[in-house]
Chain A
């Protein structure tokens, strides 16, 4: 089984977001970066499990981004991926990224292309679906379970207030949500081996960029919490009705 896992780099989950003075950009000084949690914990680990269960095959990582991203890619290799490709580009709009991924995927003939359900920075939830369309392959979004038998995959996807279980034929593009696998912490041996695994850097293909962020701002500061005595819940209900007007 040939598996591809698309990984992105995001600020660490506890990062406090600050902006440059005029809100034209995010202030990245001091921001610590990680591999997007959905890509690392669920997509990558499930891909490794499937390869291990099959006893053969390969897991390739793919990132579209600048050389700075190599440390995140090496982390994925330390967790267990066999090799990696980085398309050398400043990751910009989703469709630009998807076109880079599709160009690489066409050459690789993968059985399953794994994505995360979303990146935790721009929360797009769209790159996987774009790649599926560009390759004309079936797509299942937000999968919390994935079983493969022969060329058939059974996938449980999260829907509002429940799940849907579907059956599809490979090749498949799938985006991973919590539940698909359990996070793996790389061990010393993995980290040492990662240094020697191949990381191929390839140039970007031409593609248009048709979205851009023109301005950022931060949510307004919350005013101080209004404390209500635990014995006086009638007062809380009154405030919710009369002041907050939410009930």
Chain B
């Protein structure tokens, strides 16, 4: 059996959870078994996860799960796997997934593959998955041979598929440790899709000259329904919030479309974005290294090009 930890934010499931269920369902099919979902805490409409292939949804909810503690969540996932007899555990490669995955693997003495981007191939008792390594500069195929196997799925790497219908939800009673993490405050930008999940991203670099000029980036993002990002020096000097910084030391993303304006394309920047499906580069310097990694390029002044692009997007959306 494949068990997918379907993470919810404020009780709601995001696209990444649907991707993880799709991934688990395909993995289960390759193994000739079924895929079930595990939800933790207070969640809405959990049965809906059946639409993406989960044959059953389990929920663990207690005082200990009211806020996030990696030890409690890991115990819930690992103990659920043991109780249900699931040998493959799938989760999302996001901040929650990264906080608990290692704990789950240690608890189950399992081999693990974090941040994979393909459905596994099955060989005997082993699973082989593909993941990006060296910050996007290469891919590796990793074989897991332990009895339990823990996998986390990189965002935007598995298209969501609807294959089933709503599933029944059953609550699981597990002995969980008490939470040791007191959450004082959660600050989350509202309104926008978080960067790691965004399919469309508009990003600005030092070429923007100052934070007061970001309206040209914001306007294009608004017209496209995209999320905004930035290069590292821009976050370093606080022109933009730290969580927008992409690259080797920032967030690694793989959107369908990445538009970079006023960014030179240093190798450490590319490391975080070169898995994007399509890259558009706007730079006034025709020699900017970013053009080598781009699908489409515009050599020009971003302060003229971006407003024109925004108008063109609006015209296209209106047509």
B-binding residues in A (CB < 8 A): 11, 13-17, 19, 26, 37-38, 93-95, 98, 117, 120-134, 136, 138-142, 144, 154, 157-169, 178-179, 208, 210-219, 222, 225-231, 233-234, 236-241, 244, 246-247
Contact = CB atoms under 8 A, between A and B. Distances in A.
A129 B309 contact: no
17 contacts: A16-B137, A123-B135, A124-B114, A124-B115, A132-B102, A138-B71, A167-B184, A210-B110, A211-B145, A212-B143, A214-B141, A215-B140, A218-B137, A219-B275, A227-B297, A244-B257, A247-B316
A244 B248 contact: no
B112 A129 contact: no
**Secondary structure class of chain B's binding surface, majority of residues:** mixed
B51 interface: no
Nearest to B232: A178
A120 B134 contact: yes
Contact of A210 (B98, B111, B182, B184): B111
A228 B196 contact: no
Contact of B138 (A142, A218, A236): A218
Most buried by B among A15, A117, A225, A226: A225
A151 B40 CA distance: 30
B316 A225 contact: no
A161 B185 contact: no
B186 A159 contact: yes
A226 to B, nearest CB: 5
Nearest to A212: B143
Nearest to A223: B295
A183 to B, nearest CB: 11
Nearest to B113: A211
Contacts of A158: 95, 242-243
Nearest to A177: B249
Interface string B126-168: 0010011111111111111110000000000000000000000
Nearest to A244: B278
Contacts of B295: 222, 225-226, 244
B278 A240 contact: yes
Interface of B: 68-71, 74, 93-96, 98-107, 109-115, 128, 131-146, 180-189, 192, 194-197, 199-200, 224, 242-243, 245, 248-250, 252, 256-257, 267-268, 271, 274-275, 277-278, 280-281, 291-301, 304-305, 308-309, 311-313, 315-316
A131 B107 CA distance: 10
Contacts of B292: 222, 225
Instruction: Pick the 4 closest A-B CB pairs, nearest first.
Output: A129-B102, A230-B300, A210-B111, A160-B194
A133 B186 contact: no
Nearest to B294: A225
Nearest to B131: A123
Contacts of A165: 183-187
Contacts of A230: 298-301, 304-305, 308
Nearest to B181: A166
B249 A233 contact: no
A201 B299 CA distance: 55
A98 B111 CA distance: 12
B138 A233 contact: no
B287 to A, nearest CB: 12
B136 A228 contact: no
Given A138-B69, A160-B196, A218-B138, A166 B183 contact: yes
Nearest to A239: B296
Contact of A169 (B102, B180, B252): B180
A136 B107 CA distance: 10
Given A133-B106, A157-B95, A225-B295, A236 B280 contact: yes
B274 A219 contact: yes
A67 B264 CA distance: 38
B106 A130 contact: yes
A178 B99 contact: no
A233 B224 CA distance: 14
Nearest to A13: B268
A129 B134 contact: no
A161 B189 contact: yes
Nearest to B140: A213
